[in-house]
Amino acid sequence: MSARMATARPSSYRHKSEKRGMTYNIMLVGQSGLGRRTFLNTLCERAVIASPDAPNPETANVADPMKFDTYEVAMEEEGTRISLTVIDTPGFGDGLDNTSCFKQLQDYIEAQFDEVLVEESRVKRNRRYRDHRIHVLVYFIAPTGHSLRELDIELIRRLGEYVNIIPVIGRADSFTVEELDAFRSNVMRDMLYYKLPVYNFCWDETDSEALAENREIMEHIPFSVVTCDEVYDNEYGS
Amino acid sequence: MSATEASGKPQASAGGIGIANLPNQLHKIVTKKGTNFSLMVVGESGTGKTTFINTLLTTELIEPLDDATRRKKQLDKTVDINIHKAELEEKMFSVKLNVVDTPGFGDYVDNNDCWLPVVDFIENQYEQYLRQEQQPVRKGIVDMRVHACLYFIRPNGHTLKPLDVRAMKAIGARVNLIPVIAKADTLSPTALRQFKKRVMDVIDAQSIRIYQPPVESDDDHSTQRNQDIISAVPFAIIGSTQEVKTEDGRRVKGRQYPWGVAEVENDQHCDFKKLRSLLIRTHMLDLISTTEESHYDKYRTTQMKTRKFGEPKPKKSENKKFREEEEALRKRFTEKVKLEENRFRQWEQKLIAERDRLNKDLEQEHNLVKQLESEIEAISNAGSPNNKFFRK
């Protein structure tokens, strides 16, 4: 989260954004138990999302519907201010029939686009308008050890047209080193096979220095993530 | 026999009559016959079912799928039933083992009713056995009744998913269900304990029937062991067929992480040994007998109340996919029939028109003939040599 992020932009924009603070909207999507909440807490280095209450065993046979929870975090580092908005989607993929989840996500993202369109088309625009469009969607893949599942494929295929998707392997500590490599190459093969639209880090072909760096980043897709809420004294902690 | 009837307690004479030798005879018979054990594994793909079976039997019974088959399966949207048969022999005692695998369970976007093929399979085995028992010749019965079903729960750290709850309810009512927490090494010990407790809470709250092994036994050692086993439900397991080296130099079956080794046979790491003991060492007989006595009997009673002896089971195809195909086929069939009927109708019309036309022609000819006849008559009546009439 350092100022390196803004190198590709013209300096006047950087100056302006430094003063005002950039808005950055991230959406976290994935089944429950893959570490979305912990990922966010680790990223922001503090407990943004609290632990959920103990689930009620009486209602365990009925799935919770998908919700959109918005969390706003103001972060500052080396003079750069970012007002980060994170949208969490608990309930995604947890029910018996999950075909409606895609439509809900699509509707939500389109609603943000519509809002911006309406605002842009106004004669008199609001100077302090907050842009709620999702800049990046972090999708958590379950560590099955084999390859992508139908849910993963469908989600990336449908939403890749609307938003930048970065695939991430959640709970990667359930793999040994060899298994992780094997799983990662399986996922990459599946992505090529199904032609899934993930975010291409190498969008700027002209800047050779950034290109080399970006190519290296792309080799790590899908990123494997291990996050933790608590600090232990010894080594044993996931 | 009269000695026992008279006093209630067998009065053994000095040498005994030899009843005490019966267990040895039974042992010999059973050892010769061997036994038949069917185990079913149910769970989402990637939970470690194949690895667990291979670890349990210390042999690669089920081969992992390769990419091409897996890709085809991903978009198949059906749950398959695969049966792997093996014959195990240890110290002259042989077991015919059947392992039933269920690829495709819970893997899709829409998982409604994905447990139906599993439940149907279980009931079909009971049905097969029932029918075979009712045959005049009962030799060589094939018994594929499932004696134990392991349900693999994905350790998401929170609680059971609705899919797990509904599937376990349906399965547990028909067979000995043993819930198992897969890939237990992804959770820390405290998280694992909490997860186990949450799972048991849900099982109790939702009235899911799971297998309860008998606790009380003849000696204290067995009772203690049974209690240990019961308190560990649901069993947290790790599967691995590879041998790795631990920090203190031992070679064990386990998984090697950068931070250490998770051992399969270490009771502090997972419950694999307890589960293996439950399945094979200590409670296999109980699993088999509860299946045959209570589960099968329940099925038999309900079926015999509604059906006559020897009648086949009424088929109910509840599979949605089959229903859709059936509808499509039926539609095509009715359309074809309609087409053919139209064709025949048109043909009929044509024939009728043709017939009418021919009839008309016939009538015309008939009239003509009549006319000529009347002329002839007139001529023959008149009899005059006048040529006028001929020139008509």
Q: Which range (A27-36, A181-190, B9-18) has the least confidence? A: B9-18
Distance CA B328, CA B81 (A): 25
**Out of A3-17, A154-168, A185-199, least confident range:** A3-17
pLDDT tens for A170-183 read 888 888 888 888 88
Residues 131-150 of B with CB under 8 A from A: none
Length of chain A counted residue by residue: 238
**Per-residue pLDDT at B251:** 79
Q: Which residues of B touch A62 (CB under 8 A)?
A: 162
* Closest Cβ–Cβ partner in B67, B108, B258 for A177: B258
The residue-averaged pLDDT of B162-190 equals: 88
Q: How confident is the model at residue B309 (pLDDT cuts 50, 70, 90)?
A: low
Question: Residues 13..32 of A with a Cβ closer than 8 Å to B: which?
Answer: 31-32
Q: Is pLDDT above 70 for B1?
A: no
Residues of chain A with pLDDT > 90: what percent? 0
Q: From the CA of A216, how many Å to the nearest CA of chain B?
A: 24
pLDDT above 70 for A205: no
**Residue-level pLDDT at A4:** 45
Residue B160 C-alpha from the chain's centroid: 23
Mean predicted confidence (pLDDT) in A31-50: 80
pLDDT of residue B346: 95
How many CB atoms lie under 10 A from the CB of residue A121?
8
How far is Cα A151 from Cα B10, in angstroms, rounded to an integer?
69
* Residue of A33, A54, A150 lying closest to B156 (CB–CB): A33
Q: What is the pLDDT of residue B388?
A: 54
The pLDDT of residue A238 is 34
| Ramachandran assignment for A38, one of left (phi > 0), alpha (psi -120 to 50 degrees), beta (any other) | alpha
Facing residue for B186 by CB, picked from A62, A171, A177? A171
Nearest to B48 by CA among B164, B152, B189: B152
Mean pLDDT of chain A: 77
- For the segment B283-289, the average pLDDT, to the nearest whole number, is 84
Taking contacts as CB-CB distances below 8 angstroms, the residues of chain B near A33 are: 154-158
Q: Which residue out of A56, A66, A94, A149 would a mutagenesis test of the B interface target, given it has the greatest number of B Cβ atoms within 10 Å?
A: A149
Is the CB of B166 inside 8 Å of chain A's CB atoms?
yes
Is the CB of residue B196 less than 8 Å away from at least one CB of chain A? no
ipTM for this prediction: 0.78
Q: How far, in Å, CA of A94 to CA of A230, rounded?
A: 26
Per residue in B43-65, pLDDT (tens digit) is: 888 888 888 888 888 877 777 77
Q: Residue B96 above 90 pLDDT? A: no
What is the average per-residue pLDDT within B278-305? 85
Q: How far apart are CA A15 and CA A21, in angstroms?
A: 10
**What tens digit of pLDDT does each residue of B322-369 get?**
778 888 999 999 999 999 999 999 999 999 999 999 999 999 999 999
Q: Which residue of B has its CA nearest to A65?
A: B162
Nearest neighbour of A150 by CB, restricted to B107, B160, B161: B107
Task: Answer yes or no: are the C-beta atoms of B302 and B130 closer than 8 Å.
Answer: no
Split at pLDDT 50, 70, 90, the class of B77 is confident
What is the pLDDT averaged over residues A46-57?
71
Q: Is A70 on the interface with B (CB under 8 A)?
A: no
Q: Do A174 and B186 touch (CB under 8 A)?
A: yes
Give CA–CA dist B264/B373, Å, rounded: 115
Quick check: A98 and B187 CB within 8 A?
Answer: no
Q: Note the pLDDT of residue B376.
A: 93
Give the closest residue to A196 by CA, choosing from A132, A134, A234, A147: A147
pLDDT in tens, A89-100: 888 888 888 888
Residues of chain B found within 8 Å of residue A173, distances taken between Cβ atoms: 186, 257
CA–CA min distance B109, chain A (Å): 5
| Interface mutation vs chain B, best among A94, A150, A186, most B CBs within 10 Å | A150
Nearest CA in chain A to B207: A58
Between B40 and B246, name the one with better pLDDT: B40
Most A-contacting residue of B113, B156, B160, B240 (CB-CB within 10 A), to test interface: B156
Angle at B377 (CA atoms; ends B376, B382), nearest 5 degrees: 100
User: Do residues B98 and B122 make contact, with C-beta atoms less than 8 angstroms apart?
Assistant: no
Categorize the per-residue pLDDT at A75 as very low, low, confident or very high, splitting at 50, 70 and 90: confident
Helices (H), A121-175: 150-159
Distance from CA of A63 to the nearest CA of B (A): 6
pLDDT at A11: 57
What percentage of chain A exceeds 70 in pLDDT?
A: 73
B67 touches chain A (CB under 8 A): yes
